[in-house]
Structure 1
């Protein structure tokens, strides 16, 4: 059937009808969204569905733009071809959309979750996350902070007011070293689209981190276990292609509303991930850089906690000032954690230099972050 817009009828309504016609019974339809925390009036002439609006809000946010200057694995790399947090989420989005399209699921929902899943990441990658987790009394997890960003910190402190499905997919995307396809599905996103993003995240990082590690000389091509290459392929493109193809084929074969990956592929991905943890993430070279980043985050955190921090608007901050509410330690820790977590690598280094390193005589630094952070 060929769909043509019909004048005189709501284009949004026509798009909703088209979704219902062509998407899988397991897909999440935009018209069936559980809604937003703050109800919004529909505007006459609106042509976007709810998940499309969420995707656009994320894409146009300040936090999303700052991802281009946040570390993926290698801290402050000098080469132009190393991944950043921004290129990572774009790769996750591309992989997730490919799977969603093949399974006739909601691509807009998938893309929104993928683009928003790492908004809460700190400067210096997981080194920053681990450090803030120690410093903040209530701990720190980037996926939880991602939700805080879209709910409270973005849009001048008003948040992005995203749909429940996107928010749920964002907060449940993380897996660490846990099972790739956990038997306990309670920890997974409530939508198949959200679950796809979780798997796409794994597929993206095990492949591009391998690629970056080879480029950096941390590992050599001969180090890659041949039994893994025999299953997933020898090149970056071949590995992604085989993993995505396996996921699509096995899920279509299962046809039960769940994602499926063959045992052979699950084992290969798991062994590949273990190889990276052992030979890349936990190597002495990476650990030394981790320690440097941790020291920067720790010093900045304690400095702001001691000297005060004022949030002017949304994510626009000024340090070196205390308001009466700063006496509340819980409030102070929350503000400092929000501020530091939102920094880019280069902004954290710049602030650290101005605070802790000697400056040329006559130099001046206002301490206002609005020009380079917010």
Structure 2
């Protein structure tokens, strides 16, 4: 018996009927020999952690653009917090932690520089259908490993593309918008638990809002600190979820859902759309829009600038230039955008 087979046997004994066992995975698009040490979901997690797009997350905005403070969240630290919340919930509910962790670690790989301002810019100039969830799937399917993709399992790919909610419903009415696995759906809940807490934490740290501004219902129901709020939300989800019609229905209590919705509305009105954050949002959109227009008019420079992505020849030959520019810009870090914009548009004085 291999180490992987022994681990899968332990999964059979531990994971509840509502979780996904690695041995029962629907597999990959391109079949591969089984690893003797790791399960397929453990392999997926490792492939994501070691890929280029994952490393770039450390220099991508969460809310505050290119923060100089050491303690502000970036897209990478957000991703790690989502993964930890998802693992905690899955462990308590006897679900597959490795599957949830892989989905969580990959869920924002396609996020643009400068957070949602970059995403909005690409919606306006590339396609109204652009969104970071589908771009994340494109990263793992097409763009990584020089254009070969990571060849992840179907369960992880499904969770990545269906994690996002934006300002839409936390729990969508259309079941088709939720991940097919319970673990994938848990990542959606873990995502909102993480960002509601850390975005508020960063907003208070930055002075955009004060602790006294937080709605009373949120403090009373959720708690007054980051740790209290996270613990309260996680416990509520664990104990409010129920088995219904032979499937596990994830849910918050009515009181918790109301307080979380109130907190999310507060963040949108007082943080994400606040004057200081919005002003930087507009600047970031301008940078990305001008870079997109530049490369649209100078397509010959794309290959030269994209050498770091090391894409195979077939990618350039078979992909429309607009799509290539979108992939390129979406891959950029905040600081790379600033450096590239300066290189292209800012005159360099002679010495």
TM-score range (shorter-chain normalised) is: over 0.9
What secondary structure sits across from 2:145 in the alignment?
coil
1:296 to 287, 297, 304: 287
Q: Give the whole-Å Cα distance in 1 for the aligned partners of 2:254 and 2:127.
A: 41
Q: CA deviation at 1:361?
A: 2.1
Distance in 1 (alpha carbons) for counterparts of 2:75 and 2:349:
33
Deviations along 1:211-256, one digit per CA (max 9) or x if unpaired, are 0000111001110111211000001110000000000111257784
Aligned residue in 2 for 1:48: 38
Shift in Å at residue 164 of structure 1?
Answer: 0.3
CA deviation string 1:122-164 (max 9, x = no partner): 0000000000111114641000000000000001111000000
Larger helix percent: 2
- Higher mean Cα deviation, 114-123 or 255-264? 255-264
- Give the corresponding residue for 1:257: 248
Say which SS state the counterpart of residue 140 (structure 1) adopts. coil
**Aligned pair partner of 1:175 in 165, 173, 181:** 165
Match of 1:10 in 2: 2
Moved over 6 A (4+): 311-314
Q: Secondary structure at the match of 2:303?
A: strand
Q: Which has the higher contact order (CA 8 A, sep 6+)?
A: 2
**Which deviates more from structure 2 when the two are superposed, residues 130-139 or residues 109-118?**
130-139
Contact 1:157/1:313, CA 8 A, preserved across alignment: no
Structure 1 residues 158 and 314, CA gap change in structure 2 (3 angstroms): farther
Partner SS, residue 257 of structure 1: strand
**SS of the counterpart of 1:123?**
coil
1:82 counterpart SS class? coil
Q: Following the alignment from structure 1 to structure 2, what is the Cα–Cα distance between the partners of residues 230 and 137?
A: 42
Of 311, 325, 333, the match for 1:336? 325
Tell me the alpha carbon deviations over residues 265-320 of structure 1, each in whole angstroms, 9 at most, x when there is no partner.
00110110000001111112211101100110011111111111127668237xxx
- Once the 2 structures are TM-superposed, how far is the Cα of residue 257 of structure 1 from its aligned partner? 1.2
8 Å CA contact 1:180–1:266 kept in 2: the answer is no
Partner SS for 2:340:
helix
Aligned-partner Cα distance in 1 for 2:2–2:205: 51
Other-structure match for 2:298: 307
Residue of structure 1 equivalent to 2:136? 146
**Is the partner of 2:163 in helix, strand or coil?**
coil
SS at match of 1:280: helix
* Distance change (3 Å), C-alpha of 1:332 and 1:256: closer
Q: 1:30 aligns with which of 11, 22, 29?
A: 22
Q: Is the 8 A contact 1:169 1:189 kept in 2?
A: yes
Per-residue deviation, residues 102-134 of structure 1 (Å, max 9, x unmatched)? 000000000000000000000000000000111
In structure 1, runs of 5+ residues without a counterpart are: 1-8, 318-322, 363-374
Unmatched 5+ residue regions in structure 2? Answer: none
Alignment of 1:356 onto 2:350: no
Q: Provide the residue aligned with 1:98 in structure 2.
A: 88
Match of 1:20 among 12, 19, 22: 12
| Conserved? CA contact 2:59–2:75, under 8 Å | yes
Q: Which has the higher mean CA deviation after the structures are superposed, 250-259 or 153-162?
A: 250-259
Out of 50, 63, 72, which is 1:73 matched to? 63
TM-score by length of 2: 0.94
